[in-house]
Structure 1
Amino acid sequence: MRYFKGVLASERRIRCIEAEIERQQSRLALNGVEGGEQVSRTMEGDAMERGFVKLYDFCDALDTELIGYVEEREAARRTLDCLDDGDMVEVVYLRYFEGLRFPAILKLLNAGGRNMSERKMYSLHEQALCRLWRVIPREHRQRKSVQ
């Protein structure tokens, strides 16, 4: 479902920005600047300054992305409140919020002593998506086209 997959995509974008921040921090640390030491006005100092500017830009991008992500994830999670069946909630949550594939979901569902069949899990997933259809924002709805 595109609506819930958008939450996972936002999470991936955040991880990419975090990786860039770590990479930039390690580059600056390798060049001998840690913790905001004074930078001289040499060519090396200018490069360091540009490095810090780039680092701050990444931090700003991360802040912006995080604000949108938290709001988006919370709105998507609230849509699960319309599901009465706890198993449906669990299947949808594990699939779209944790990013697990169906075999891993089935393994987790059965780890607690439950004996759920693969068919039952897929049925719960399909029923949940049908019920969620009316509560997700209209712009995120997508219909399968039959040809």
Structure 2
Amino acid sequence: MNDAQDADEAVNQGWFSVRCVFQYGSDAPFVYEERITVWRAVSFDAAVALAEAEAAEYANEVDRSYLGFAQAYRMFDELGHGAEVYSLMRDSELPPYAYLAAFFDTGEERQGTLGEPAADQQVQRRSTASNHEEQGTTS
């Protein structure tokens, strides 16, 4: 490429976050990992290609497999404190507490609750979904 092409490509590049899903081990119960990485690319296809190449390397590090599932999001904010790096919208008939329980808080996640000792949890959550379910509220 020449300098003009390089400059055009740099202007057309954006930041993309890509979520890839991995499976650990080969015997049930399986552990699944959702991992979001950030890429500078000219298109969704280019960002996913970069992420999947990295996912293959990541999967080879330990006993895990890349499941070939990637979701990309073109980021509109500049990277920085509070920037939105991923968003996925889904239609559902479920009320809020049931939606969270079905998709994000099934009880099988390896996570802790904010305000409790972290132990070995990689993810901390804040949830009042169980309180809403018990009270029958949806806000």
Classify the TM-score, shorter chain. Answer: under 0.3
Higher RCO, 1 vs 2 (CA within 8 Å, ≥6 residues apart):
1
Structure in which a larger fraction of residues adopt strand? 2
* Larger helix percent: 1
User: How does the TM-score come out when normalised to structure 2?
Assistant: 0.21
